Amino acid sequence: MGADERVFVQGIDVAGRGGTFGVLEGLTEEYGEERVRNTPISEVAIVGSGLGAAMTGMRPVVEVMYSGFLGVPMDQLLNQVAKLRYMTDGNVDIPLTIRTQNTSGFRAAAQHSQALHQVLMAIPGIKVACLSTPADAKGLLRSAIRHDDPVVVFEHAGVYNRSGEAPVGEHEIPIGEAAVEREGTDVTVVATQVQLWNALEAAEELAGEVDVEVVSPRTFDPLDVDTIADSVRKTGRCVVADDTPLRAGTQSELAALVHEECFFDLDFPVQRIGVENVPIPFSPTLEDEVVPGTEDHVAAIRRLA
């Protein structure tokens, strides 16, 4: 926002309160309520006005509080945001960034506990990014805001309090570039957001028994298949983990791509880790049963070792 006056933020309670989980705290004091704008409780208005502003040359960053609420402006996302640049033969840029968050493990019940990036991943014309680390948060968000296509950025409530290194200064991560977060030789784990941290914890737990390489896709559209495939060719074994449901989740797409690209290098079929195919329960005991944890990674890795 300091570098580009066209960038503004809008959403529910973003001014003053700092938006969901206080992620935008301090922006109002620095840039004022003209550029940090509270909206009515209407995702249709939030996304629709953001789209219009983007088409006229602004670079809006709009917040939809929870990814489950993306269902409200879905017609705009599916038929307007995703398609207008294509339908105008590239004559109209759509530099719209939509921030939202996946959630699990917070006892927030089914409507507020979902991961839905696989839904947006299936819509051509929208870039999809998943933030998993502090470096991702800085580098991918900066790239999304400067991109001329619409980008939906999925944060995750379960990683807001995680700490890690983030480069200072002009740090950008190209849209479509995966990262090897931990190098290894025996098994590749491809994981995002909370499951990335679970994979890293499992890798540490198994150190000395299995040498685990952990890859973070970072963006799902475009997807860096080459980095994932190179890792799997090296290890010959692969686990895919995500907070989306196992049925039609990102795990299925990634597993299919790994089998296509690395079939003759695989020693075993790809293993998948994900949420059970039920709405996430409010009950803490049931939620812990449905949402995978570090122990699920350890078990999946040991099945391949």
Q: In what order do the strands lie in the sheet with 271-275?
A: 179-182, 212-216, 187-191, 238-245, 271-275
Comparing 39-43, 103-107, 138-142, 154-158, which segment has the lowest mean pLDDT? Answer: 103-107
CB 203 within 8 A of CB 233: no
Write out the two tokens for 32.
Answer: 């004022």
Say if CB 142 and CB 169 are below 8 A apart. Answer: no
Identify the residue whose tokens are 């089998």: 259
Identity (one letter) of the amino acid at 112? H
pLDDT at 105: 82
Tokens 């402006």, residue? 73
Question: Rounded to whole angstroms, how far apart are CA atoms 217 and 272?
Answer: 15
> Is the distance from CB of 51 to CB of 76 less than 8 angstroms?
yes
Span 3-36, pLDDT tens digits = 999 999 999 999 988 888 889 999 999 999 999 9
What would the pLDDT profile of 177-186 be if each residue is shown by its tens digit?
Answer: 999 999 999 9
What is the pLDDT confidence band of residue 224, given thresholds at 50, 70 and 90? Answer: very high
What are the catalytic residues? 112
- Burial class of residue 49 in the structure, from the number of CB atoms within 10 Å of its CB (0-12 exposed, 13-18 middle, 19+ buried): middle
- C-alpha closest to that of 187 among 214, 153, 149: 214
Q: CB neighbours of 38 closer than 8 A, spacing ≥ 6?
A: 10, 11, 12, 13, 14, 15, 16
Across 158-174, average pLDDT = 90
What's the pLDDT band for 169 if we cut at 50, 70, 90?
confident
Q: How much is the pLDDT for 60? A: 98
Question: Could you read off the pLDDT of 255-275 as tens digits, one per residue?
Answer: 999 999 999 999 999 999 999
Alpha-carbon distance 216 to 232, whole Å? 13
Q: Where are the alpha helices (DSSP H) in the chain?
A: 27-31, 43-55, 74-76, 84-87, 117-121, 134-146, 193-205, 225-235, 250-262, 284-290, 294-304
* Percent of the chain that is helix, strand, coil (3-state, to 5): 40, 20, 40
Amino acid at 123: I
Report the mean per-residue pLDDT for the chain.
Answer: 96
Task: Say how far apart CA 254 and CA 225 lie, in whole Å.
Answer: 9
Q: How far apart are CA 189 and CA 297, in angstroms?
A: 9
> What is the reported pLDDT for 19?
86
> CA-CA distance, 244 to 272, in Å (whole number)?
11
Using the predicted structure, report yes or no on whether residue 235 has a pLDDT greater than 90: yes
Name the band, by pLDDT with cuts 50, 70 and 90, for residue 248: very high
CA 282 to chain centre: 23
Q: Check: pTM over 0.85? Answer yes or no.
A: yes
Q: Which residues contact 90 (CB under 8 A, 6 or more apart)?
A: none
User: What's the mean pLDDT in 288-299?
Assistant: 96
Of residues 302, 234, 299, 237, the one with CA closest to residue 273: 299
Residue-wise pLDDT tens digits, 49-79: 999 999 999 999 999 999 999 999 999 999 9
